[in-house]
A and B are shown apart, each in its own frame.
Chain A
Amino acid sequence: QQPVQSPQAVILREGEDAVINCSSSKALYSVHWYRQKHGEAPVFLMILLKGGEQKGHEKISASFNEKKQQSSLYLTASQLSYSGTYFCGTKRVSGGGADGLTFGKGTHLIIQP
């Protein structure tokens, strides 16, 4: 079952912040975040395992609320290079092959100068 992402699209000015949410109705083992530029393959950003951890990657960070089965991706002081479509992917069991990664429908992020 696909996780639900919100919002569907965001338009920001350079330097503004954005939050992208991902929720699931099923218990999750991990949440994965990817960014995809137009015409390219998705690129891995980070993974969050159950346990409610928060991770950071320069100005991009994420959290995972295990009780609510929700994850949020935070982009602070956005740059033009952040533009793209962001996908969350979820896994219900551990391990690489036990099941595939189930992706949400994506959030389109447009950063304007």
Chain B
Amino acid sequence: NAGVTQTPKFQVLKTGQSMTLQCAQDMNHNSMYWYRQDPGMGLRLIYYSASEGTTDKGEVPNGYNVSRLNKREFSLRLESAAPSQTSVYFCASPREDGRLYTGELFFGEGSRLTVL
């Protein structure tokens, strides 16, 4: 089992370019999240999806769009990248044992994005 897989791991963009970060989980979880991590700021929630077909804004959604394509995949899109979006992006999914929420977040390895 791979758990949570993110692609790409590294990306350099120019201001104004667009790109999509892909995330897939093979744990059959309902919920998936996108976080960004910046030095001194901790992890901040961009968007989350409680189940297939639903998405909701987190703390810092501006400049991003998401798609919950199916139960496995949750993508994050930057339509017009800005230098302020330079960050490490993590996709995560909380462990679920049946209907019991255990609280354990499984993270992908992260996607390091630089916007010049």
A residues sitting closer than 8 Å to B (CB atoms) are 2, 30, 32, 34, 40-44, 47, 87, 89, 91, 94-106
A residues within 8 A CB of B102?
Answer: 47
Name the residue among B43, B44, B45, B48 with the largest chain A CB count within 10 angstroms. Answer: B43
Task: Name the CB-closest residue of A to B32.
Answer: A97
Apart from the given pairs A2-B44, A96-B94, A97-B48, 18 other A-B contacts in the complex at a CB distance below 8 Å = A34-B105, A42-B43, A42-B107, A44-B105, A47-B102, A87-B43, A96-B50, A97-B49, A97-B50, A97-B54, A100-B33, A100-B35, A100-B45, A101-B94, A101-B105, A102-B45, A103-B35, A103-B42
The answer to whether residues A106 and B42 also contact, given A97-B50, A100-B33 and a CB cut-off of 8 A, is yes
Contact of B108 among A30, A41, A106 (CB under 8 A): A41
Instruction: Please give the distance in Å from A34's CB to the nearest CB on chain B.
Output: 7
How many Cβ-Cβ contacts under 8 Å join chain A to chain B? Answer: 69
14 A-B residue pairs with Cβ-Cβ distance under 8 Å, sorted by A, are A30-B103, A41-B90, A47-B103, A89-B43, A91-B103, A96-B101, A97-B31, A97-B48, A98-B50, A99-B56, A100-B35, A100-B45, A103-B42, A104-B42
Contact of B44 among A30, A43, A98, A103 (CB under 8 A): A103
In the bound complex, CA of A96 to CA of B30 (Å): 8
Instruction: Please give the distance in Å from B109's CB to the nearest CB on chain A.
Output: 6
The answer to whether residues A96 and B31 also contact, given A41-B107, A41-B110 and a CB cut-off of 8 A, is yes
Task: Name the CB-closest residue of A to B102.
Answer: A47
- Residues of B50-101 contacting chain A, CB below 8 A: 50-51, 54, 56, 58-59, 90, 94, 96, 101
Name the residue among B31, B40, B104 with the largest chain A CB count within 10 angstroms. Answer: B104
B residues within 8 A CB of A42?
Answer: 43, 90, 105, 107
The answer to whether residues A94 and B107 also contact, given A102-B59, A104-B42, A106-B42 and a CB cut-off of 8 A, is no
Instruction: Please give the distance in Å from A8's CB to the nearest CB on chain B.
Output: 9
